[in-house]
Amino acid sequence: MEERTARVDARTLRAAARDGKDTAHEKQAQREFLEDSAANGMLYDAAQVNSATTGDVTTVWSDSVDLDQVLVTAPDVPDADQPVAGLGAIGSNNPSAADQKLARLGSSGLGSVTGQWGDRDGGTVSVTVDGYKLISGWERYRVRESKTDRDVYYYGHWATAVGKSVTGYDKAPYVVDVRSRPKSGYRSTFLQLRNYWPKVSQPSCSGGEIGIDVLGFGGSLPLQNCSSLSPDPDPTSITMKVVWSAGTCKDQTVEGADLGMAVDTKPGYNAILSDYSYARFNDHSTACDVGTSDDIRVIYADPGW
């Protein structure tokens, strides 16, 4: 099958976002973004939201995401039989963005939080291609802790992949992959990966969530999937990775993956991390098509991924 690969860099995305020519399609995407973000616990003012349409890719993101690029690899001529079939993302929190004072409304990110220092902050990005959607978010809390030689942060990252229903079968996600690590240029400000969730030895969850507990900071982390998870922490690079996979067959039209990590930074340094989110979708009429050529990726901040 012929494939197309399209890369839209940050400069092009920012220029498209500033052109002042929001189409009806983009305005609808912005409205959906605000609704999706609220469902994931992120409340934004419309002035904090950017959007860009380049070809058939529509990207919407909050000011607190440092967007770098959108990368699409998909069948060359998408149509009813061979539509584009995946979504993915990479990115970081934006150190220059004002802290977001966010309310908790949805099921992603921590709930019942205690022991934090100051307000939660976070960001969201959404990418839609031919009806497929990936929504990715991050959140950060500073832990209220008494040590003077370091600051401790909780950092959460999740991605929700939304397929689409067509006559006879659903074009469903079958891989969702989330990763977080220090943003390029900030590794020296980090001291250690103190803890991570979910655990390698305990990828399942009870009641759809797992508990977070670090130095008096606590909360409940909802997991969008309680099985088929592959956590993969790397203390050396301070990287956390969680992959959900449906195996050889599709599962549901909406799937997601979540991670949490506790990191130590040098005193006075914020935890500036870069996120990668990726999903691949079933693109054929067969329920168990797991071809590797059906990818859409979005890179937003750290091109080293």
Query: Which residues touch 15 (CB under 8 Å, ≥6 apart)?
Result: none
pLDDT score of 89: 46
Which residues in the chain show pLDDT less than 50?
Answer: 1-4, 75-90, 96-107, 292-293
Report the relative pairing of strands 86-92 and 295-300 from DSSP bridges: parallel
pLDDT score of 268: 94
Task: In whole angstroms, give the CA distance from residue 171 to residue 153.
Answer: 38
pLDDT score of 81: 33
pLDDT score of 7: 64
Task: In whole angstroms, give the CA distance from residue 54 to residue 44.
Answer: 24
pLDDT score of 261: 97
pLDDT score of 270: 95
Whole-prediction pTM value? Answer: 0.83
The number of angstroms, rounded, from the C-alpha of 86 to the middle of its chain's C-alpha atoms is 14
Quick check: helix, strand or coil at residue 253? Answer: coil
Total residues belonging to the chain: 305
Transcribe 35-82 into DSSP letters.
HHHHHTT----GGGEEEEEETTEEEEEETTB---EEEEEEESS--SSS
Report the relative pairing of strands 209-214 and 217-222 from DSSP bridges: antiparallel
Q: Are 109 and 158 in contact (CB under 8 A)?
A: yes
